[in-house]
Amino acid sequence: MSPPPNPPERSTRRDLERYAGLFSARTRVMTSSATRDLMAMSDRADVISFAGGLPDTSSFPPETFASMTARIADESCARALQYGPTEGLAETKHCIVDVMAAEQMTVDPDDVLVTTGGQQVLDLVTKTLIDPGDTIVAEGPSYPGALNAFQAYQANVVQIDMDSDGMRVDMLEETLDRLESEGRRPKFVYTVPSFQNPGGVTMSLPRRRRLVEVARERELLVLEDNPYGLLRYEGDPLPTLYSLDGGVYVMYLGTFSKIFSPGLRLGWVVAPPPVLARINLGKQQADLCTSTLSQILVHAYFEHHDWREYVSALTELYRARRDTMLDALAEHFPPQAEWTRPGGGLFIWATLPDFIDTSDLLAAALRDNVAFVPGEGAFLDGRGRSSMRLNFSGADQEQIREGIRRIGEVIKEQVALYGTLTGESAPAPPRHDAVADAAEHGEAEGARVVELPRRAERERRARRS
């Protein structure tokens, strides 16, 4: 072979360095990691994935979609293809008023800004309120997508423990006192009170009341993120923080993603007028306006179809899947594991003995073609390493049973190996038989307080001493 002709004219590495010098400091936190590469494996077709947060859009009737788009082409083609106002179209806001009314909230359309998905609300609120180094208080675990948005604006995030009644508001108050004594005043508290992502727990009414009081007493903003409130599978609805507060200190984040379609990228924020005006400015800079086509589509849907009926069909579907997953967990996970029992939403949070690192467990699970989200991404302080988030909306019941069985096998193997290594007695043999018995066990687990151990903290202390 002769040496290659046209010798390279440029160096890719030098290019990379040239660009690297231009990156902002805030992109420094946007690191890639081995775990993320591992997560990418869960997209493989042969993998049963509990890793996503995907609603089941396959249950939406295509003929409904066709009639909506035909109607738009007939009636509002030019408008649908045009820019719109930054705050959103009036008719879309009416749909939003409707959705919020379904959860007993009364809202003035003027207090609403339509956004490109709920994720944009997280970005805009953070952009509006946070300078580098400012503090945000969130739940632990928190939605990783929110943590990423907060980190991108270089916020300090303090995470408050949860139990089966949601955020420990007493600990929130202690933390606020401590922060105050350090001269730090958090800009806002971020919470998903109903069917929390990833925790799967719901904040109790007394805690909701107390949180709203705390916000008023301390003149602190709260961002209530409520994507799943209408996906309730049991029990009575609880008032939202927004309705308890009346919109003075509580900002409200809503979305059409889980009740209609995440593909439309349509969400909204409700905030006190002075805050909303600032958010509006940020929205103008970000993307001028939310997709007019999506907004008109939602309106066409709400106008001519019963959106509540679709939500109740989804609710039936997801309830059955949740029940299947809870039963499968009780049957296949070892007694050392515990998990939350969500009354709605899309996620179960399971916690394993602390000698199991769920990122490593994921590697073993992927060998058996099953995936989940390791818990570490839901914390910024090293906690969550023995926990996992399991989504039950995106897989059918048969896949759920099989997938949980496979994960259970891998966990049991690791528990047995640990027992062998430490000389501790091997765990009780798996109970494949008694399903009724297992269901009981699941309920007991659900009722128990879900303590989320501060393992990293403990290790750090131990090392110091």
Partner 1 sequence: MSKVAVLAGGSSFERQVSLRSGARVEDALERLGHEVIAIDAGQDLIRRLRDEQPDAAFVAMHGRDGEDGTVQELLEILGLPYTGSGVPACVRAMDKVLTKHLLTEHGVPTPEFFAFNQTAFRELGAADALPAIEQRLAFPIVVKPSSQGSALGIKFARTAADVPSALVAAFSYDAKVLLERHVDGRDLAVSVLDGPDGPTALPVVEAVPRDSEQGDFYDFQARYEIGRTEFICPAALPDGVTERAQELALRTYELLGCYGFGRVDLMLDAVGDLYVLEANPIPGLTETSLLPQAAEEAGIGFDELVGRILESAFGR
Nearer to partner 1, 300 or 411 (CB): 411
Pull the structure tokens for residue 239.
């008032």
**Are 349 and 358 within 8 A, CB to CB?**
no
225: β partners: 253
CB of 397 to partner 1, least distance (A): 27
Nearer to partner 1, 207 or 412 (CB): 412
Nearer to partner 1, 5 or 62 (CB): 5
CB count in 10 Å sphere of residue 232: 22
Nearer to partner 1, 122 or 356 (CB): 356
CB of 168 to partner 1, least distance (A): 26
CB of 141 to partner 1, least distance (A): 18
* Site for partner 1, rule CB under 8 A: 1, 3-8, 11-14, 16, 28, 30-34, 37-38, 40-41, 44, 354-357, 360-361, 363-364, 366, 382, 414, 417-418, 420-423, 459, 463
CB count in 10 Å sphere of residue 339: 24
Sequence-distant (≥ 6) Cβ neighbours of residue 254 within 8 angstroms: 96, 99, 100, 118, 226, 227, 267, 268, 269, 270
Nearer to partner 1, 46 or 309 (CB): 46
The Cα–Cα gap between 296 and 84 comes to 11
CB of 339 to partner 1, least distance (A): 20
Burial category of 137 from C-beta neighbours within 10 Å (exposed 0-12, middle 13-18, buried 19 and up) = buried
The Cα–Cα gap between 144 and 104 comes to 29
CB of 395 to partner 1, least distance (A): 20
Sequence-distant (≥ 6) Cβ neighbours of residue 156 within 8 angstroms: 133, 134, 135, 136, 184
CB of 337 to partner 1, least distance (A): 15
Nearer to partner 1, 191 or 358 (CB): 358
